[in-house]
Structure 1
Amino acid sequence: MNKRLICCFLILLISASVYTQSSIAFYDLLDYEANMYQCLKFYKVSTQLVDGYKDNTTIFSPQVQGKIDRAQEQGISTDLLFDPCVNTVRQENFYTPEYQVTKFSENYKFLTGYQNIWFNVIQKADRNCFWSTDANLNCEILTKYISLLQAQTGKKIGIRSSSLDWSNIFGTTTNCANFGNLPLSYINYNQKPNFQDWQDQQFGSWRGPLMKEFDTTEICGLTTTLSVY
């Protein structure tokens, strides 16, 4: 079983024998072999979320297609993750939403079998990819990315973020409040597989989330974060 790591995520539905509530988890992996998916199926895997754009790179689509195909053999569906490389200081075309979304769309226009796209809104410690200190500009950037992804892919777009990341990027938790119609996966590692913390963690204009990342564990020999929905 190949355990080499790369920037991609798996969403896993954990059976009730492990948790009393349905939950999902994310993995970082490079290759998914058949026996890996058989193991994940044993643990009631429902969906995998595979990185399509991360660390300045559009993942080679045949590699992603292979992961989708092997997952489908076990009845596991696939979503893609788009992790943008935001940089408003450097003027290269590469750092524009137009360039990144177009490259993403071109690379995956022949990809079959994936359902939705999740957009990462995370403040990272990266000298090449970082949101600006202008909250209003950052909101304009996010709006541009989402609009382009919707137009060029025709897929449903969700947002993955946390209350702290949202506040750091957009100035306050209540700013940039025009995305409440999109699905939300929020992050709060309090080891509680429920949404009882949402009132304290709430941000943007979401009345409620679709998912919550709440803990980490190991399954099928891989370390993963768990989410409940």
Structure 2
Amino acid sequence: MNKSLLLCFLILLIASSINAQSSLAFYDLLDYDDNWYQCIRFYKVQAQLVDGCKDNTTIFSGQVQGKINRALEQGVSTDLLFDPCINTIRQETSYTPEYQVTKFSENYKNLKGYQNIWFNVIQKADKNCFWSTDANLNCEILSKYISFLQAQTGKKIGIRSSSLDWSNIFGTTTNCANFSNLPLTYINYNQKPNFQDWQDQQFGSWRGPMMKEFDTTEICGITTTLSVY
């Protein structure tokens, strides 16, 4: 989910969308300099979510560490996104939960300054990475990934998903309901930085989310997603 650089900077729109409880997410491998992090601090951004993998196999720990360091200098915390490549048809080792989690944890074990890991539970438009059509199998796969991540990283693991993705992957919004002990970020791009839509968007067995990803916009010349918590 790469994001391209954009040229214009709509300051009034940004100021009205970002508040003191905002987080940014980067689903790209671009590098951002000190000036950019100083700019986002001006808008009181408190956290960033960084994806450090490409094609689910190539790890860019050096770029990720740079983002973490520059964010910390501005008082911005960092979480990592774990974006799995799930394929139950192909039998290569690289598609197993064990391999992907081990590769992730080995490459990021020396990474300093990040806090939590968010596991991406979404349907991708990717011919190589897709959940199966078996809802029960998908739930088993998710359980394996979460167990391996918790055991190998020692970090708090959260879930990032949407009502539609959850229903498509697990059959209904109420299936695979044994993850309510994990923090949840839900996705609903309604441009509203609040949780008033949760009752309509609810899935799994979560009583409430920790964060909501609510908009995609430009900030300081770069396109990013906004979350509220």
Q: Normalized against structure 2, the TM-score is what? A: 0.89
Matches within 5 A, 1:101-180: 101-180=101-180
In structure 2, C-alpha distance between the alignment counterparts of 1:204 and 1:54, rounded to whole Å: 29
In structure 1, C-alpha distance between the alignment counterparts of 2:58 and 2:134, rounded to whole Å: 27
In structure 1, C-alpha distance between the alignment counterparts of 2:220 and 2:44, rounded to whole Å: 12
**2:179 aligned counterpart, secondary structure:** coil
User: Post-superposition shift, 1:199?
Assistant: 1.0
Show CA shifts across 1:115-160 (max 9, x none).
Answer: 0000000011111000000000000000000000000000000000
Letter aligned with residue 24 of structure 1: S
Q: Which residue of 1 aligns with 2:73?
A: 73
Q: Which residue of 2 aligns with 1:211?
A: 211
In structure 1, C-alpha distance between the alignment counterparts of 2:92 and 2:151, rounded to whole Å: 23
**1:46 aligned counterpart, secondary structure:** strand
Show CA shifts across 1:46-86 (max 9, x none).
Answer: 11111133522242212211111111111111111000000
In the alignment of these two chains, the number of paired residues is 219
Higher relative contact order (CA 8 A, sep 6+): 2
Q: Specify whether residues 135 and 24 from structure 1 end up closer, same or farther in structure 2 by C-alpha distance, changes over 3 A only.
A: same
Q: Which residue of 1 aligns with 2:11?
A: none
Letter aligned with residue 162 of structure 2: S
Letter aligned with residue 25 of structure 1: L
User: Post-superposition shift, 1:181?
Assistant: 0.6
RMSD between superposed Cα atoms in Å? 2.1
Aligned partners of 1:53 and 1:84 also within 8 Å: no
Structure 1 residue 35 corresponds to structure 2 residue 35: yes
Letter aligned with residue 22 of structure 2: S
In structure 2, C-alpha distance between the alignment counterparts of 1:138 and 1:54, rounded to whole Å: 23
Letter aligned with residue 201 of structure 2: Q
Unaligned 5+ runs, structure 1: 7-14
In structure 2, C-alpha distance between the alignment counterparts of 1:57 and 1:151, rounded to whole Å: 20
Q: Normalized against structure 1, the TM-score is what? A: 0.89
Matches within 5 A, 1:52-67: 52-67=52-67
Aligned partners of 1:163 and 1:201 also within 8 Å: yes
Q: Specify whether residues 104 and 117 from structure 1 end up closer, same or farther in structure 2 by C-alpha distance, changes over 3 A only.
A: same
**2:177 aligned counterpart, secondary structure:** coil
**1:75 aligned counterpart, secondary structure:** coil
Aligned partners of 1:52 and 1:104 also within 8 Å: no
Q: Which residue of 2 aligns with 1:23?
A: 22
Q: Which residue of 2 aligns with 1:93?
A: 93
Letter aligned with residue 66 of structure 1: G
